[in-house]
Amino acid sequence: MSYPKTPLNEGDKMIDLCGKWKVADDEGKFKFEGTVPGTVQGDLVNLKLMPHPYIGENETLFRRLEEKSWEYSKDFEVKTLDKKYCDLVIEGIDTLAEVYVNEKFAGKCEDMFIGYRFPVKDLLKIGKNTIRVKILSPIKVPKALERNYGKLNSGEESARPYIRKAQYSYGWDWGARIATSGIWKKIYIEERDDAYLEGSTAYLEDIDAVKVTGYVRLTENKNYTVKVFVDKKEVGDYPVRAGNEGYLFEGKFERGDLELWYPRGYGKSVLHDFEFKLFDGKKEISSEKKCIGLRTVKIIQEKDAEGESFIFEINGRRIFAKGADWIPSDNILSWLKNEDYDRLLEMASDANMNMLRVWGGGIYENERFYEKCDELGITVWQDFMFACAEYPDNLEWFRKLAGQEAKYNVVKLRYHPSIVLWCGNNENNWGFEEWNYNHKHNGEHLGNVLYLQDLPKICAEEDPSRPYWPSSPYGGSKANSDEAGDRHVWNVWSNWVDYKGYLVDKSRFVSEFGFQSAPDPKTVDFFAKKSEKEIFSDVMVRHNKQVEGPERIMKFIHNHFGNVKNFDSIIYLSQINQAEAIKTGVDHWRERKYKTAGTLYWQLNDSWPVFSWSSIDYFKRPKALYYYTKRFYAELLPLIKNDGDELRIVVVNDSETIEGHLEFDLWTFNGKKLMEKSYDVRIPSDSVLNVDNFRFSDNLAEAIGFVRLKAGNKVFENHEVFANLRKIKLEDPYITFEKSGDTLTIKTEKPAFGVRITTEKDEVLEDNLFAISPDRPKQIKAPKSDFKTSSMYDFLK
């Protein structure tokens, strides 16, 4: 196995094999110049040999490509062969491949999540050399294994558990089916003379003691030592010794005044420059540099009246996790650039998220993802890549491969402070109990030996710096119970329950819940022609992968707004419904802090242009939910709660103690003020404060309430729609705008709801899709391009 970013020692050489390769399929249909890193599918589209899979129904054309094997080949020059070691390093191949150097077998790759290293010194010669990589069909091989070993429970493609390839590539209920093939990561030859460091890391054993460790490769056990420097200061000198698997160094030093790393909203996310230097006597031969943050993390699991808590604690501080689930941001991974990761993660951070869950049906993410999370203070719940299926760990080769994959990724990623949890899989243990996942081996469900034995053992050995959790959901009397552990709340939406259903939920930690919506109208324009813009057109249904997804969208629109037919209104209302749904859940669960200690909504992003549960669509256009997220995940959250005939004003505070002024007013949609109140408040740090509760006898059937909290120079807002919009005829609220310098002031005569500012150019605004009280004009940073405004009234006319 080989790890990326392994730096070369002085004098060592690298022959880069990335760039142009000859690519051909085994049926003689395609022959082209492909790009590495890349995928065949990405190349075929870029070269216009295949139509764009994300437009219309083109996705279906890509199914045929799965049947093919592909051959990648390239000539390269070798000038010298004077180094002791000469390795072909492949950071990632998608997926099953045989590699030949000068027509001699160099090695085979079986797992897209593992980097491979093959010794090739004996296969190379000075002068011209060739490399040939044969990539086998990602469907024929798993299908053959399935015929041999039996069909397992899984989603759309039953053979997918037999191949260690991103599981979503066989289609998901939000994802296109494009089972890619290619050399998807870097490939090069390394010529080395001496040992080098790999997987070096530092972490807190307790709040004051820093532990350092790492592997030393290619050593012959000379008297090597490793010196560790932090922010350029030497902190220790540690001997290298033989471990169970190869050589390593290990040691400790006092943290002293090195600052800690905190998640966003709880302190600074300080990263230190660590340098690990390998010495042979006095001679430095190798070094590894990493930015590492120091923090402790544990999960507080304590018995209480509702069962058992599930609270992340970082550096001894409880954290309420606010975030979303993360899926791969493209179906064709080779199309993703560092800028895409940066942008999406900055958007998550701007929306006040402090946790993302890297979901088990995707990939162990790109290095850039974790680097950026470290920097932004976004914690990561990291699944291992097993999702919604039975996995054949009864087969020795499979179990071994899964273990290698886990070890490879744990060692590679363990230095990232942002990762706060390793989690065995997505929903498989839930499946054992509730979805007839009944195949067993030696009395154990298929996959469970991995989740309960192998993976926790690997994590304990390679990375004791964060907890391991067997599955998501897990804990309690049943995997998806509400009394302990984490829970996926899918009665709402998937089981057709409307979103008020969240209000009775008592999950201890909600790691998934979601509500679908349409993508941005411009994104719909990308994939559908005018004539296809109908919710049940073939193209539209193809771009909603859930069985009866469009039916649910229409049912819930009908529940809240009546019989809507206009397509633009459906897009808009689906987004409002989604945003109100997730707000309902988050408002409820944040008020329960820490009985519920986190909400991760399904899902932050999309892998192609689609109707889905995301808050940011494939082209990174924010949906209504994105703007709602900024407000409902802010450090202070004012709430208006209605318990029967009583109204309550509450503030949830995730930050320090604050003093502020809170205003509340209640209106009918058509402009009659029913009530107003204001309060000077002092809200203790990390608390939920009941500001007021009072009986309210007026009919709320036409009402909307507004609450605004001013603290220092910050403003925190919320609204609560009590009215049944299906039953009332909205009148024009008369919204007016005034732009002065950089500021846009928005006023309204009657309560305005779902106020949308549509900009000519794609812009993520400071706020959007909000509600405004006639008493309180709203100010935001003015858009840069021309804009139009609308509100709920315009879509229900």
Comparing CB distances to ligand BMA, the nearer of 72 and 174 is: 174
Question: What residue ranges bind ligand BMA (CB under 6 A)?
Answer: 172-174, 361, 388, 426-427, 494, 512, 602
Cα dist from 390 to 95, 326, 440, 505, 740, whole Å: 20, 22, 9, 29, 60
Comparing CB distances to ligand BMA, the nearer of 173 and 767 is: 173
Cα dist from 615 to 373, 383, 426, whole Å: 18, 21, 21
Place of tokens 């080949």: 73
Comparing CB distances to ligand BMA, the nearer of 191 and 427 is: 427
- Closest distance of CB 403 from ligand BMA, Å: 23
Place of tokens 């604050």: 658
- Closest distance of CB 493 from ligand BMA, Å: 8
Cα dist from 525 to 333, 519, 616, 788, whole Å: 23, 10, 16, 18
CA–chain centroid gap for 426, Å, is 13
Comparing CB distances to ligand BMA, the nearer of 286 and 494 is: 494
- Closest distance of CB 173 from ligand BMA, Å: 5
- Closest distance of CB 431 from ligand BMA, Å: 10
Comparing CB distances to ligand BMA, the nearer of 433 and 534 is: 433
Which residues share a beta bridge with 513? 489
- Closest distance of CB 516 from ligand BMA, Å: 9
Distance CA 628, CA 646 (A): 25
H or E stretch covering 91: none
H or E stretch covering 1: none
State the amino acid at position 791 in one-letter form. Answer: S
Distance CA 333, CA 712 (A): 44
Comparing CB distances to ligand BMA, the nearer of 111 and 486 is: 486
Distance CA 95, CA 525 (A): 34
- Closest distance of CB 597 from ligand BMA, Å: 20
Comparing CB distances to ligand BMA, the nearer of 38 and 361 is: 361
Cα dist from 533 to 345, 523, 549, 617, whole Å: 31, 12, 16, 18
Tokens of 328: 């791969």
Going by their DSSP bridges, the two strands 355-358 and 311-314 should be labelled as unpaired
- Closest distance of CB 159 from ligand BMA, Å: 18
Cite the beta strand spans of 66-178 per DSSP E.
Answer: 70-78, 85-90, 97-101, 104-109, 116-119, 127-135, 170-172, 175-177
Place of tokens 């409820």: 588
- Closest distance of CB 310 from ligand BMA, Å: 18
Angle between helix 624-632 and helix 567-591 axes, rounded to 10 deg: 20
Angle between helix 338-350 and helix 367-376 axes, rounded to 10 deg: 30
Comparing CB distances to ligand BMA, the nearer of 523 and 546 is: 546
Comparing CB distances to ligand BMA, the nearer of 42 and 475 is: 475
State the amino acid at position 202 in one-letter form. Answer: A
Comparing CB distances to ligand BMA, the nearer of 512 and 767 is: 512
Distance CA 294, CA 255 (A): 9
Comparing CB distances to ligand BMA, the nearer of 172 and 572 is: 172
Say whether 306 sits in a helix, a strand or coil: coil
Comparing CB distances to ligand BMA, the nearer of 50 and 163 is: 163
Tokens of 404: 């290698």
Comparing CB distances to ligand BMA, the nearer of 629 and 718 is: 629
- Closest distance of CB 155 from ligand BMA, Å: 8
- Closest distance of CB 481 from ligand BMA, Å: 16
Cα dist from 693 to 290, 687, 723, whole Å: 52, 17, 20
- Closest distance of CB 518 from ligand BMA, Å: 16
Comparing CB distances to ligand BMA, the nearer of 602 and 628 is: 602
- Closest distance of CB 490 from ligand BMA, Å: 6
Comparing CB distances to ligand BMA, the nearer of 196 and 618 is: 618
Q: Nearest-5° angle of CA 394, CA 400, CA 402?
A: 90
H or E stretch covering 229: strand 224-230
Going by their DSSP bridges, the two strands 187-192 and 311-314 should be labelled as unpaired
- Closest distance of CB 677 from ligand BMA, Å: 40
DSSP 8-state assignment for residue 507: -
The full DSSP string for 193-219 is SS-EEEEEEEEEEETTEEEEEEEEES-
- Closest distance of CB 179 from ligand BMA, Å: 17
Cα dist from 576 to 355, 580, 634, 686, 791, whole Å: 24, 6, 19, 30, 11
Tokens of 299: 């999960």
- Closest distance of CB 316 from ligand BMA, Å: 32
